[in-house]
Structure 1
Amino acid sequence: MSDSNSFSEQEKIDSLEARVKSLERQLKRQKIARKNAESLLDTYSQDAYLANQSLRKSLNDAKKRERELLYLNRTAAQLTKSQSGKGFIFSALASAVEFIGACCGKAYIVKNGALTAGDDDTVLLEDGEWQSNPELAKLLLNELPIHLEENYEHWCINVVDRPDTHQEARVLHFMHEVNEDEYAWFALLTYDDHLDEEMLYVLDTTKHYINFNSRYQHKKSKLSIQQDELSSVKKDRDSLEERLISADKMAMLGQLAAGIAHEINNPIGYVRSNTVVAKEIFSDYQHALDEIGKLCDEAGGEISEKFNACTKGYSLNESAIEIAEMFDESLEGIERIIDIVKALRSFSYPGSGKHVKLSAIDAINSAMKLTSNLHRYKNHVSLVAEQGDVSFMGNAGQIQQVLVNFLTNAIYATEEGKHIYLRVERKGDKALLIVQDEGVGMSQVVLEKVFTPFFTTKPPGDGTGLGMSISMTIVEEHGGFIDIKSEEGVGTEVTLQLPLV
């Protein structure tokens, strides 16, 4: 019994020992498994941390690249807006301040050694707003070698103490030559020294963009000047073509006038001669009739009565007076035709461009005769020469062309019944030929364009707009000039000044 109990207890002990050993083995395996799990978890956690850090770095790099691309894209887009040099500089400044997250920025422009932009107290903030801050504006200006006249190759960085926060900061700056003797300065104030080399490299593209814009604006300005010159040449060419056409028409008109003058001159000579002779013959007949009348009166009686009756019946006395007046009027008309022919001949043969001594009164009289059909029944045209006649050197046909143009314009602008005065005056060593009308006058705008080729206030078809332009050219070739005074509703006074002989 006791042996049996001992054996049972021993079995229990052995069983418990085996159980303990089994538990120890399980615990050991669990410790190893736990250690392995902890090691694996530590490795996984470290890998996760490294992956997270790498992801964060990639995300930051992506954001940085995005900012760089946005900055480059924005700066490049500004080139397409064709801004002026100054406008592009300030746009580039705003992009740079936003790109690097600067505290503020400012641009300065120096021309011929003087500050022409940036001499105020404002600075550009990161949000694109300009704010008054005299301390920061002064700080930025003091950090720039403003009188330097050599371009920087890259951005320069100065370490400064901010006067507002008394903390260390950085000033980035560079200078660009915009034009000859004109320089642009950029200055950016950053919070710290967080800018890396790559960001500065990207920021450095601002300089290249400004250089490109400057060259573009220079080429654009040069092209604009060339286009203006080309346009001016085209206008001059068109003007010359029109003047050549006008000159050709004037030459044809001159030939026609010469032909008419020649054709009229011969027959009018016969008419004049015959009229003078007929007047003399009629005068002889009248004297003879008077003698017959005296003889009849001396004879008296029936002879005298019949003669007197015949004289009254045929109105011989009245007819004789009327015929005498007709002869006088005819001769006056013939003389007028002869004067017109002379004026036409003078207009047609200007003396091959030679200048001769001319009379101002004769020149004006010729112009009056050539335009008589325009003003005879419309205006009162009179010549005033209180100081007497004056002489000058000139081409008779060309001077006549100028005066005819002045007088024609005056007639056109003057209402029926009103006066046009032509005056001859002397002023120092100048001869003044003046055409003054009581017409509608001209406004200041019209007066400024009066010598512009093809400018006219006449209806289409009534004028070419070349008269005053050609007149100015002729007068300048004669060493004179034209002065015009006009007032709307009062009239116009055109003065031709030429050197006295």
Structure 2
Amino acid sequence: MAPAAIPPEVPSFPSRHVLEALLDPVREGLLLFTDDDTVLIANPAMQALLGVPADGEEGAASRLRPLLPPDALLQARQHGQWSGSLVMGDGVVTAQIYHHRDQGLGYFLGTFRRIEGHADYERELQQRHAELRQAYQRLNGAQEKLLQSEKMASIGQLAAGVAHEINNPIGYVHSNLGSLQEYLRSLFTVIEAYERALRAPDPKTLIPEIDDIRTRLDIDFISRDLPQLMAESREGIERVTRIVRDLKDFSYSGRDESWKLVDLHAGLESTINIIWNELKYKVQLHREFGQLPLVECLPSELNQVYMNLLLNAGHAIADRGTITVRTGVDGDQAWVEFEDDGGGISPELRQRIFDPFFTTKPVGSGTGLGLSISYSIINKHNGRIDLESTPGEGSKFRLVLPIKQPR
């Protein structure tokens, strides 16, 4: 039998002398140190970048710390790595710092590369700028999709109420059309009687028959009721038209919407008209509108904020209550205020109500995005949301917006 093959000897980990020999010619600066700034390895390129003598590598980590952003090492600890640009000596250096914890000890490994020449530096900046621009575009697109998704989800929740608001006027218009059909049949009968009288040799002989027809068909009542019926039908059709128009304006994605001067009261009325079916059974709405100039804004997005705050105010009211909508001007700012006499918000919840996905509603009843998106929209308008709330007494949200956007 052939003897068993002898496994090759596993090489041991290189000694410090071997590591230093390998790292000496490396052009990038390499620095390995612990959480307490004990330097394990600093190659010559690193020593040159920091300006420490060849035998003074022990102070390399403490000399590096002031050159780093305050949160660089913290980010490396939390996320495993940090990267950025530093000014070291008379040049700019790109830096990557990695962190690893083993047996209770933390280790940092930093790599540093000097950007040679102005062209290289410009290239580096352009690359980082392109990366940032792509990240911003992705973030902006995600935010826009999230806004539209929340808006459509809100409309979906209101769909039954909107359908009810449309069905009411459609119902009585349909009923009025049935009455109108009967009225027209009666009027045509009277007209035919008059035409027969006009063709008769002696029309006066048919007057009793015409009077009998007018009495039997109650033409006097029809002449009084017909204008009212038409006015009521027109009002119903106009209400349906208004709801559909408001719904269309409200659901508009705003992708191509530009900043424009807008009457905030029109947006408020449009939003109230859409969500009124959600509120009218338990809320008494008061309007205390002041004199507002036209405000530069994205009206569709502000309508989303109005809806979120009005619905939240309605949900805060258990049985019956009041919501007051106020508007006014303070210097070069306009404000819109929503006050309810509901349950109020406790101080600990007040800290979190604008956080994404935070909600106090039962599971399945809210996304937790309404106030977060509202905060983002108002921030985008260079405004702010002020909140006053007392548990058991109610809440007051005030939107403060610049009348003209800063250029």
Structure 1 length-normalised TM: 0.43
Q: Are residues 1:482 and 2:391 paired?
A: no
Which structure 1 residue ranges, 4+ long, deviate > 6 Å from structure 2? 219-222, 239-242, 251-257, 299-302
Tell me which residue corresponds to 2:146. 246
In structure 2, do the counterparts of structure 1 residues 352 and 254 end up closer, same or farther at CA, with 3 Å as the change threshold? farther
Q: Distance in 2 between matches of 1:417 and 1:478?
A: 34
CA RMSD in angstroms comes to 5.0
1:52-67 residue pairs with structure 2 within 5 A? none
CA contact (8 A) 1:398 1:474 kept: yes
Tell me which residue corresponds to 2:256. 352
Tell me which residue corresponds to 1:467. 370
Tell me which residue corresponds to 2:118. none
Q: Are residues 1:379 and 2:274 paired?
A: no
* Aligned length, in residue pairs: 261
Q: Secondary structure at the match of 2:250?
A: helix
CA contact (8 A) 2:262 2:299 kept: yes
In structure 2, do the counterparts of structure 1 residues 254 and 368 end up closer, same or farther at CA, with 3 Å as the change threshold? closer
In structure 2, do the counterparts of structure 1 residues 220 and 478 end up closer, same or farther at CA, with 3 Å as the change threshold? closer
Higher RCO, 1 vs 2 (CA within 8 Å, ≥6 residues apart): 2
CA contact (8 A) 2:308 2:371 kept: yes
1:226-305 residue pairs with structure 2 within 5 A? 226=79, 246-247=146-147, 249=149, 303=207
Structure 2 length-normalised TM: 0.52
- Residue 381 of structure 1 deviates from its aligned partner by 2.0
Amino acid at match of 1:363: G
Q: List runs of 5+ in structure 1 lacking aligned partners.
A: 1-83, 86-178, 181-218, 230-238
Q: Distance in 1 between matches of 2:246 and 2:75?
A: 53
Q: Distance in 1 between matches of 2:326 and 2:81?
A: 42
In structure 2, do the counterparts of structure 1 residues 222 and 382 end up closer, same or farther at CA, with 3 Å as the change threshold? closer
In structure 2, do the counterparts of structure 1 residues 372 and 222 end up closer, same or farther at CA, with 3 Å as the change threshold? closer
Tell me which residue corresponds to 2:232. 329
CA contact (8 A) 2:150 2:370 kept: no
In structure 2, do the counterparts of structure 1 residues 220 and 496 end up closer, same or farther at CA, with 3 Å as the change threshold? closer
Amino acid at match of 1:336: R
Tell me which residue corresponds to 1:456. 359
Tell me which residue corresponds to 1:492. 395
Q: Distance in 2 between matches of 1:407 and 1:251?
A: 14
Q: Distance in 2 between matches of 1:226 and 1:376?
A: 51
Q: Are residues 1:391 and 2:291 paired?
A: no
> What whole-Å deviation, never above 9, does each CA across 1:310-360 have from its counterpart, x for those lacking one?
555444444444443332222112111211222223224337141101101
Q: Distance in 1 between matches of 2:81 and 2:227?
A: 70
> What whole-Å deviation, never above 9, does each CA across 1:384-404 have from its counterpart, x for those lacking one?
21x324321111111111111
> What whole-Å deviation, never above 9, does each CA across 1:97-152 have from its counterpart, x for those lacking one?
xxxxxxxxxxxxxxxxxxxxxxxxxxxxxxxxxxxxxxxxxxxxxxxxxxxxxxxx
Compare the two structures and name the one with the higher helix fraction. Answer: 1
CA contact (8 A) 1:441 1:492 kept: yes
Tell me which residue corresponds to 1:92. none
1:166-245 residue pairs with structure 2 within 5 A? 224-226=77-79
Q: Distance in 1 between matches of 2:214 and 2:288?
A: 48
Q: List runs of 5+ in structure 2 lacking aligned partners.
A: 1-34, 37-61, 64-71, 83-138, 198-202
Amino acid at match of 2:237: I
CA contact (8 A) 1:455 1:466 kept: yes
Tell me which residue corresponds to 1:403. 306
Q: Secondary structure at the match of 2:351?
A: helix
Q: Distance in 2 between matches of 1:402 and 1:417?
A: 23
- Residue 486 of structure 1 deviates from its aligned partner by 1.2
* Residue identity (%): 27
Q: Distance in 1 between matches of 2:146 and 2:155?
A: 14
In structure 2, do the counterparts of structure 1 residues 222 and 363 end up closer, same or farther at CA, with 3 Å as the change threshold? closer
Q: Secondary structure at the match of 2:361?
A: coil
In structure 2, do the counterparts of structure 1 residues 330 and 341 end up closer, same or farther at CA, with 3 Å as the change threshold? same
Q: Distance in 2 between matches of 1:315 and 1:439?
A: 54
